[in-house]
Structure 1
Amino acid sequence: MFLVCFNEIIKYCQECIRNISFLSIVQLIIIWSIYFILPELGIEAKGFSPLMSRRDFIHQIGPMLYHCFIHEGIFHLFGNSISLLVFGASVEKKIGTTQVILLFIVSIVLQPILMISLFSLKLASGNSVVGISGYIFTLIIIFYYQPGKYMDIVYCCVLNIITYIFSLLLLAQVSLSGHFCGIIIGVLYTRGFLDWLFNSHLITIIDTVIKRFIGCLIIYIPIPDNSINTKTHLQIMSLIKSDIKSLLSHCTKHSNDANTLNSLPI
């Protein structure tokens, strides 16, 4: 009887922790610890700046890797924490623990590269960027993704603009480019452009490490890999091309109709 009750308790604990997301909790512990401990140690953690990376790339390598763990203030940290808990758990259920771990690593590495690229194209400012918001926008894209549709992109772009307007009202600073880079990473993942990485032996290695070091815990079992339905690169390009053709033909038709109406005798 005792064993049965104990097993039921273990199952209940596993379900609760899965709903909370073990990975999100670990990320939040690191973020909150950095926020409170660094000032006590007298260490000033600087964010990543695309402008400074052009002038002094070597000294920007550190901020490139840890800027997502640094936050501007307590409200910035609290808002990102809530978003990470909600979308982190949902996406982990959707694609699996191993995929989320690799996605976070890819986000840390790829986001600064995209920001430097946007800055080089004059599409982003060179201001210093901090926070995990970019990764959260990647999670939001994956959460709302539906094959063959674009509402996830539209929703995140609108949310990015609303966030920016809201920050202006509060006299706060928000990095539109950082959020936009997170959206790009989410689009690359959901549209299959990163399948070569997420279907590689690296997934197997990370999965083995999880089972050995995390899966050994009694109350936590990693969620198995469950890749979302993506399309190949050729399918994506063909779909985009057909959408553009449909849009052009639709515009041409309306233009011809308008010209016909204008030429009618009075």
Structure 2
Amino acid sequence: MDWKAYLIPQIIAAFLIQPNAAHARESYEIRTPSGAAEAIFRNTEARAAQAKVASACLDRGWPVTSNTEGMVICNHSNIDATTVLLAPRSASFQGIARFVIVPIGNDVRVQSSDDIEVTNAFGQTKTYAGTVHDEAQDLLIAAGGTFPQGTKFEGNDLGISGHFYGYRFIVTDVAPDGAGEIGGIREGDKIRKIDGHSFDDLWWFRHKVNAIAHGNSIHFDVIRGKERLKIDVLAKPKLIAD
């Protein structure tokens, strides 16, 4: 087998298939009691909550493929690089996010699950674990949901948000007086290394950030325009839930 002929298109695809550039994500971990992406819509009817979720999917650029009673299903193209690299040649990819709507008294709980369908040239399809847990959680909050009681915020709060693209974390928002701003990170910065180590995806970025103990410095290699900078940011916990 000509490995160059096989791997080069796959590597190019891995760079091209990246999370939606409009998506922003903080560094700390959000852990709901169930472990799934979920939210509570207070004093809301099920139909209204379902309509909000469907609308939020469309706002994020996720086509709604099914909107039946108690369930919203959306498609997305957020496929992780590992899945692309390990898939057969000429494979097609489809991300699927499902939102289950369950009335609970005067409230509504919406819980999400997702997976990736990989179809080869012969029409055979395999299903893999999805990678949009964080985006689904953000989507539910943006739609008007609140975090369930008992949700924990773990890790370090850099006070920055961004998206992962081309093996870089692109900073799209910097909170005033947050750890990132104090350390010198600015909107538009491209973070390429943490403590001298590169990272392959958004999960690894957050894992490396949150592996640093509170009170210690996190060392970032940053690209800002034509400059290459080294910036230290103090590791701080998220003290108050949103």
TM-score (norm 1): 0.26
TM-score (norm 2): 0.28
Instruction: Give 1 or 2 for the bigger CA radius of gyration.
Output: 1
